[in-house]
Amino acid sequence: AQSVTQPDIHITVSEGASLELRCNYSYGATPYLFWYVQSPGQGLQLLLKYFSGDTLVQGIKGFEAEFKRSQSSFNLRKPSVHWSDAAEYFCAVAPSGYSTLTFGKGTMLLVSP
Amino acid sequence: DTAVSQTPKYLVTQMGNDKSIKCEQNLGHDTMYWYKQDSKKFLKIMFSYNNKELIINETVPNRFSPKSPDKAHLNLHINSLELGDSAVYFCASSQVRERSYNEQFFGPGTRLTVL
């Protein structure tokens, strides 16, 4: 069974600084990979996804993520964080051809002034 | 226009009661899901329905019974509520195609509190 690890429970970043949120997965083949964001009291919104092809994927709100097969990682990055980025971020995987999502436990991003 | 909607947004009830949460999607998707997010924010799939048929049923107590009257609706009925059922329940939908994965769109969640 696939699993997802987000090693950082919470991260604090200064506004304007760069951000990297870590995600590692365990799966026999290359899964479909996703990053979702959950703002306080809100549902989940898809930031970006990776199926195949270019390992650097661009998403909404200025986020990008890089798939590294050798490290089984799919880290999320943003060059300059805004206060409105403060939220919970979830990495998720799905087996190819199926729609079941397995989520990591999330990373809470705090943005300091 | 709301893509995936859930009612109610908040639900507070006593132990032992029976309650339902409704979900509707207007995206024309053929697959709908229920997820549970616990107090530690951990999200886990509960059920998945494709064209009104149950295709995924994770290890969930049989007090939880999903019902899909049509492709656009997936309701969750919970019998004999327990304290441990307190969580945020998210509905989602997607259009499943062979050899392809399609984005799941999530509803805003229903926060269930069992007293």
CB hemisphere CA count around A55 (13 angstroms):
11
Say yes or no for a CB contact (<8 Å) between B103 and A99.
no
**Distance in Å, alpha carbon of B5 to nearest chain A alpha carbon:** 10
Whether residue B103 lies within 8 A of chain A, CB to CB, comes out as yes
Those residues of chain A that have pLDDT short of 70 are 96-99
B48-96 pLDDT per residue, tens: 888 777 877 777 888 999 999 998 999 999 999 999 999 999 999 988 7
DSSP type of residue A96: T
**Token duo for residue B24:** 């509707």
Is residue A40 classed as helix, strand or coil in its secondary structure? coil
Residue B5 near residue B69 (C-beta atoms within 8 A): no
Residue B75 near residue B66 (C-beta atoms within 8 A): yes
**Distance in Å, alpha carbon of B93 to nearest chain A alpha carbon:** 10
**Token duo for residue B75:** 């309701």
The per-residue pLDDT for B19 is: 97
User: Quick check: B32 pLDDT over 80?
Assistant: yes
